[in-house]
Amino acid sequence: MSDHYYSKKPSAGSRRVRMEEEIRGVELVYTVDEGVFSKRGVDFGSRLLVENLQEPEVAGPFIDAGCGWGPIGLTAAHLFPERTVHMVDVNERAVELSRENAEMNKIRNVKIYDQDLLAGEKEESFAAVISNPPIRAGKETVFRLYEQAWKVLKPGGELTVVIQKKQGAPSTKKKLEEIGFTVETKAKAKGYFIFCGKKH
C-alpha cells in the first residue's frame, strides 16, 4: 500500500501545526500534522457530517471509525457529554494527535486507540457509528467498514457516514441497504451526501 493517511506508520516527516476550529458552535483547539487526513483543517465532508449528526434513541456509546486527528469524535463527545465516544484509527500518528487534542480540550468522555476500523469491537455494543470513511483505502475497505458497523451496532443503532457522489455515494447507499440498514439521506451539499443507516 502506498503511504497515505490510511498507513499504520506514515513516513511523512512531522510538521505540527496548532489551529482553532468551530463546528456546530463547538470551538476546539487542535494539533494537526503531516501524514494524517485533512492536515490543513476540518474538511467540508467532516463538518457536514457533524452538523447533521443526531443522537440515536438507543442508549450506549458512539464510535468514530477512522478518527484522524479527532474533529468528528471530539466534537461529538462535546455535543453529547452523557455518551462515551470511542475513536479509532489505523494510523498511529492520528491516534496520538487525537489523544493530545482530547487532553488539550479537556474532553474526558472518550476512549482513543489504534485499530483497523471496527475489527476488534464486540457485536451489538454501540448506539452509533460515525465515519468519514477512508476512501483512498479502496471500496473493499469502505464496504468492510459498513459490514462491521452492522455487527457492532445495537438494534436501533445508527451508522452516519459522509461520502461524495463522485467517490461512490450511490454505491454506498445501495450497499447499506443490502446489508439491512434503513437508509435516510440527512443532507446533500457540494456533491457530498450524509447517509444515516438505522439497524432494526
Q: pLDDT 10s digit of each residue in the chain, 200 long?
A: 344 444 555 555 677 899 999 999 999 999 998 878 777 779 999 999 999 999 999 999 999 999 999 999 999 999 999 999 999 999 999 999 999 999 999 999 999 999 999 999 999 999 999 999 988 888 999 999 999 999 999 999 999 999 999 999 999 999 999 999 999 999 999 999 999 999 99
Q: Under 8 Å CB-to-CB from 75, ≥6 apart: which residues?
A: 23, 24, 26, 28, 50
Beta bridge partners of 159: 129, 197
Is CATH 3.40.50.150 the classification given to domain 43-198? Answer: yes
Where are the domains positioned within the chain? 43-198
pTM: predicted TM-score of the whole model, two decimal places: 0.92
